[in-house]
């Protein structure tokens, strides 16, 4: 009794971690994740419990043997090494599933036939009788997995894929599999939301799989409770009394759970789909728990008063033909509008195989998970529905009524006035990227930057977060008014207008991706050609307010070694090299931005060991370098392989002697508490130590350019009285930022 076995449970790719967590919750021991599945240890009762309760698994397998099978004879002999009389009767039925990967036996039908022959021959020789083959509901289903000529022979306890719950009467085109629906819900935190009484809405429910699986989770109903056939029922080692006890407990939990199921609704524009969903819910015994209605996404209703904020989940169409994409973008946009209009304060989860469609929703996804719908790779986008997460929605479609409104015309006139004032300056200074508007009118709280990239003009619009007292509807109207006139006034294609919400950045959030288009564009700045990205990050990769500072660095760099700290995408390094720097060191904590800096260097034909990139916490790195110099450990620096950091932070030690620099650019963030840092950083609190460590790295006659964008920053000159400090803030502000002189502060610092 209670003999322990090692089992393997299969699941679609992308669900392995969910499956492992589920197995642990079901009491399985020694759980281990594997590709497309997870293993666990337990008795037969443990395996039966997984069969009944697993929401994401496909099959539960009991390995019977493992043996080399490089040819048909060794496969046959290996199967015959099992005493099949322990598992089935000679008059029983069987079926064989055979798969092969990188093995000599590659024909799966031939392999399955050989396995069947070995089992049948063993019975015929021993008893004169033989089992027969039954493709549907056999007494015993055998699973053989052949990988690199090694076979694993399994008994399939599930019998049929566990995603078949037994409630689906019929489906619509491309129905969502039940275990994928469960994975979407579990990844989205639905189990906890349901425990707290939160409601669920599916606005494109199809045949109702997501609402039904949501009800099964919320009501604590075993997903296998309605299945009529199991692979273990005809197995001679089946333990009926254990199974009966599991079923009785599941039925008891179902009755208790139905009474506390929160509101669940499904909507669809198709009456046929809604009828199917209702039928499936009836078969699942959940007709009273789920409400379905024929409603278009554009008309998705506001939640009822009895609906506690919960989860909106959707599996909208993905689109397979090019002609469908425009229509689908409108559908996804309607989904985003529905969320913001009616479901603020809720969570949302949307699965899609097309990132472009996902972006049309217009909300920044807080989490992203990779899942597979069959062989199709999909992304599960998880949102917190709040106006502060509104991001690029693309340009608002041209609307004459909006564009001609008094507010839109007032904004357009101010923008034209700014452009006129900047025209002569742009021509004289050969400016290819500039700020055209910066919340000049408080009611239109936008920053509008124009980039004349080499392949065409782009406009990067940042919307400052509105005070909470301003209604979202008013904020949205003003946004639409401004966006409606930008293409005409700025002579830019509507699809090249990029909108983002600007908020204070904390910790690592400045490095988080908003999207993943990976579309970069080249913009000129003086002699430099720099890569910018308008969609993937909050910033484009080029801080326009530091344009003059970078030009100054280029002028100061001739014949000097240059150190760029908090380097971002390395634009200042490019200016320094083209200005004549003999060598450069570029330091930043973000691998993403260092890779970007490398691309900027290569784009300007800057290569070689004289120009190194260092990934490190700048504060730790500076302290370590200063300490080495104080000890007299001065060298030529770490000249590692191009593009690889050969210096480590203080925690990991320093691999090479430190060096001194003729020019240092220090442009720290206002605040950071990134998990990659040993401690938080606050520029007001920490700037004195930071500046002193940087000055310690200067060679005789060297110069430190120190700047930051904290508008209330006050330099502690008393604590730095032994240094020569010159405030050059006004000198580094160009004409397009003259309206906001506090956008940054900048000093030139040197030893006296």
Q: What is the pLDDT of residues 613-668, one digit of tens each?
A: 999 999 999 999 999 888 876 654 433 323 333 343 323 333 346 799 999 999 99
Q: For residues 573 and 550, what is the distance between their CA atoms, to the nearest angstrom?
A: 9
- Asked if pLDDT for residue 387 goes beyond 90, the answer is no
3-state secondary structure of 449: strand
Bigger pLDDT: 600 vs 327: 600
Bigger pLDDT: 228 vs 662: 662
CB 545 within 8 A of CB 571: no
User: Is domain 400-503 classified as CATH 3.30.750.80?
Assistant: yes
User: Which residues are bridge partners to 746 per DSSP?
Assistant: 707
Q: Where in the chain is the domain with CATH 3.40.50.150?
A: 178-221+260-389, 530-751
Averaged over 523-540, what is the pLDDT?
Answer: 92
Q: What is the pLDDT of residue 279?
A: 94
User: Which residues are bridge partners to 101 per DSSP?
Assistant: 147
Bigger pLDDT: 396 vs 388: 388
- Asked if pLDDT for residue 355 goes beyond 90, the answer is no
Q: Which range (101-110, 260-269, 294-303, 497-506) has the least confidence?
A: 497-506
Averaged over 321-341, what is the pLDDT?
Answer: 75
Q: Is residue 353 exposed (0-12), middle (13-18) or buried (19+ Cβ within 10 Å)?
A: middle
Hey, how many other C-beta atoms are within 10 angstroms of the C-beta on 556? 22
Pick the CATH number of 178-221+260-389 from 3.20.20.20, 3.40.50.150, 1.10.3720.10, 3.40.50.360: 3.40.50.150
- Asked if pLDDT for residue 323 goes beyond 90, the answer is no
Residue with tokens 């009491």: 27
Averaged over 382-400, what is the pLDDT?
Answer: 66
H or E stretch at 68: strand 59-68
Bigger pLDDT: 472 vs 293: 293
Tell me whether strands 583-588 and 446-453 are parallel, antiparallel or unpaired: unpaired
* Average of per-residue pLDDT values in the chain: 88
Q: Where in the chain is the domain with CATH 3.30.750.80?
A: 400-503
Q: What is the pLDDT of residue 306?
A: 78
Over residues 181-197, the pLDDT tens digits come to: 999 999 999 999 999 99
Length of the chain: 752
Burial 128-167 (b: 16+ CB within 10 A, else e): eebbeeeeebbbbbbbbbbeebebbbbbbbbbbebbbbeb
Q: What is the pLDDT of residue 623?
A: 92
Averaged over 270-282, what is the pLDDT?
Answer: 94
User: Is domain 5-156 classified as CATH 3.30.2130.30?
Assistant: yes
Hey, how many other C-beta atoms are within 10 angstroms of the C-beta on 72? 16
User: Which residues are bridge partners to 202 per DSSP?
Assistant: 266
Averaged over 367-371, what is the pLDDT?
Answer: 88
> Tokens at residue 401, please?
């009524």
- Asked if pLDDT for residue 322 goes beyond 60, the answer is no
Q: Where in the chain is the domain with CATH 3.30.2130.30?
A: 5-156
Q: What is the DSSP letter of 263?
A: P
Q: What is the pLDDT of residue 563?
A: 97
Averaged over 154-170, what is the pLDDT?
Answer: 91
- Asked if pLDDT for residue 282 goes beyond 50, the answer is yes
**DSSP assignment string, 270-317:** -HHHHHHHHHHHHHTT-TTTEEEEE--GGGPPPPPTT-EEEEEEE---
**DSSP assignment string, 164-212:** --S--S---SSPPPHHHHHHHHHHTTHHHHHHTTEEEEETT-TTSHHHH
Cα–Cα nearest to 282, from 207, 193, 186, 203: 207
CB 713 within 8 A of CB 728: no
> Tokens at residue 460, please?
């990067």
Strand order in the sheet with 308-314: 290-294, 264-268, 198-202, 308-314, 347-352, 376-384, 367-373
In the CATH hierarchy, which fold is given to the domain comprising 530-751?
Answer: Rossmann fold (3.40.50)
Averaged over 265-286, what is the pLDDT?
Answer: 94
Averaged over 98-106, what is the pLDDT?
Answer: 93
Output the CA angle 247-252-255, nearest 5 degrees. Answer: 125
Over residues 730-743, the pLDDT tens digits come to: 999 999 999 888 89
Over residues 403-429, the pLDDT tens digits come to: 778 889 999 999 999 999 999 999 999
- Asked if pLDDT for residue 137 goes beyond 80, the answer is yes
Percent of the chain with pLDDT over 90: 70
Q: What is the pLDDT of residue 26?
A: 96
- Asked if pLDDT for residue 703 goes beyond 80, the answer is yes
Q: What is the pLDDT of residue 635?
A: 58
Instruction: To the nearest 10°, report the CA torsion of 190, 193, 195, 197.
Output: -130
- Asked if pLDDT for residue 514 goes beyond 80, the answer is no
Averaged over 347-367, what is the pLDDT?
Answer: 86
- pLDDT confidence band for 359 (50 / 70 / 90): confident
Q: What is the pLDDT of residue 634?
A: 64
> Tokens at residue 162, please?
């566990």
- pLDDT confidence band for 303 (50 / 70 / 90): confident
Q: What is the pLDDT of residue 675?
A: 53
Q: Which range (241-250, 371-380, 557-566, 653-662) has the least confidence?
A: 653-662
Return all residues near 587 (Cβ < 8 A) that are at least 6 apart. 563, 564, 565, 566, 567, 614, 615, 616, 618, 621
């Amino acid at each position: 009794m209670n003999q322990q076995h090692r089992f393997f449970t299969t699941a679609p790719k992308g669900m392995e971690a969910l499956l492992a967590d589920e197995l642990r919750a079901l009491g399985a021991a020694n759980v281990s994740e594997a590709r497309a599945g997870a293993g666990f240890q337990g008795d037969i009762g443990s395996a039966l419990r997984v069969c009944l309760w697993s929401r994401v698994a496909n099959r539960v397998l009991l390995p019977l043997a493992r043996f080399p099978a490089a040819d048909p004879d060794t496969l046959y002999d290996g199967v015959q090494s099992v005493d099949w009389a322990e598992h089935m009767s000679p008059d029983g039925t069987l079926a064989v599933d055979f798969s092969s990967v990188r093995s000599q036996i590659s024909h799966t039908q031939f392999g399955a036939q050989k396995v069947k022959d070995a089992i049948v021959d063993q019975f015929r020789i021993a008893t004169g009788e033989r089992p027969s083959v039954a493709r549907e509901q056999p007494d015993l289903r055998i699973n053989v997995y052949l990988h690199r000529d090694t076979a694993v022979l399994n008994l399939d306890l599930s019998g049929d894929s566990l995603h078949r719950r037994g409630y689906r009467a019929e489906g619509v085109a491309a129905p969502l599999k039940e275990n994928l629906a469960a994975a979407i819900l579990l990844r989205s935190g639905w189990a906890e939301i349901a425990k707290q009484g939160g409601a669920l809405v599916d606005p494109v429910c199809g045949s109702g799989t997501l609402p039904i699986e949501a009800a099964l989770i919320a009501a604590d109903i075993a997903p296998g409770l309605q299945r009529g056939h199991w692979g273990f029922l005809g197995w001679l080692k089946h333990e009926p009394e254990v199974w009966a006890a599991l079923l009785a407990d599941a039925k008891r939990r179902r009755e208790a759970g139905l009474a506390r199921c929160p509101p669940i609704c499904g909507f669809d524009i198709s009456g046929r789909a809604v009828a199917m969903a209702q039928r499936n819910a009836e078969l699942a015994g959940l007709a009273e728990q789920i409400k379905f209605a024929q409603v278009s996404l554009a008309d998705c209703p506001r939640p009822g008063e009895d609906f506690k904020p919960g989860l909106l989940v959707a599996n909208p169409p993905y689109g397979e033909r090019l002609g469908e994409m425009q229509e689908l973008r409108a559908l996804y946009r309607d989904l985003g509008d529905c969320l913001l209009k009616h479901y603020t304060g809720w969570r949302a989860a949307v699965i899609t195989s097309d990132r472009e469609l996902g972006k049309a929703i217009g909300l920044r996804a807080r989490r992203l998970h990779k899942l597979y719908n069959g062989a199709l790779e999909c992304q599960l986008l998880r949102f917190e529905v709040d106006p502060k997460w509104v991001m690029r929605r693309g340009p608002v479609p041209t609307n004459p009524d909006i564009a001609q409104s008094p507010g839109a015309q007032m904004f357009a006139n101010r923008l034209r006035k700014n452009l006129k004032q900047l025209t002569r300056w742009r021509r004289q200074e050969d400016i290819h990227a500039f700020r055209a508007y910066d919340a000049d009118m408080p009611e239109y709280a936008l920053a509008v930057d124009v980039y004349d990239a080499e392949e065409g003009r782009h406009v990067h619009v940042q919307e400052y977060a509105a005070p909470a007292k301003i209604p979202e509807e008013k904020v949205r109207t003003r946004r639409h008014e401004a966006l409606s006139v930008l293409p005409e006034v700025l002579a830019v294609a509507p699809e090249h207008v990029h909108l983002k919400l600007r908020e204070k950045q904390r910790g690592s959030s400045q490095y988080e991706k908003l999207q993943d288009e990976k579309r970069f564009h080249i913009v000129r700045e003086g002699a430099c050609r720099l890569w910018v990205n308008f969609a993937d990050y909050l910033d484009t990769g080029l801080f326009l307010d530091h344009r003059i500072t970078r030009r100054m660095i280029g002028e100061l760099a001739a014949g000097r070694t240059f150190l760029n700290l908090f380097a971002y995408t390395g634009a200042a390094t490019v200016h320094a090299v083209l200005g004549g720097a003999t060598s450069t060191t570029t330091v930043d904590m973000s691998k993403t931005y260092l890779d970007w800096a490398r691309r900027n260097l290569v784009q300007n034909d800057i290569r070689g060991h004289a120009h190194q990139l260092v990934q490190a916490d700048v504060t730790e790195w500076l302290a370590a370098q200063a300490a080495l110099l104080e000890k007299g450990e001065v060298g030529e620096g770490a000249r590692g392989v191009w593009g690889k950091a050969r210096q480590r932070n203080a925690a990991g030690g320093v691999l090479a002697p430190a060096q001194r620099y003729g020019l240092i650019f220090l442009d720290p963030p206002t605040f950071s508490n990134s998990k990659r840092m040993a401690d938080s950083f606050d520029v007001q609190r920490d700037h004195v130590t930071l500046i002193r460590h940087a000055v310690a790295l200067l060679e005789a006659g060297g110069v430190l350019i120190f700047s930051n964008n904290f508008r209330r920053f006050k330099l502690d000159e008393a604590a730095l009285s032994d240094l020569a400090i010159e405030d050059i803030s006004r000198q580094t502000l160009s004409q397009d930022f003259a309206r906001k002189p506090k956008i940054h502060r900048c000093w030139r610092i040197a030893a006296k």
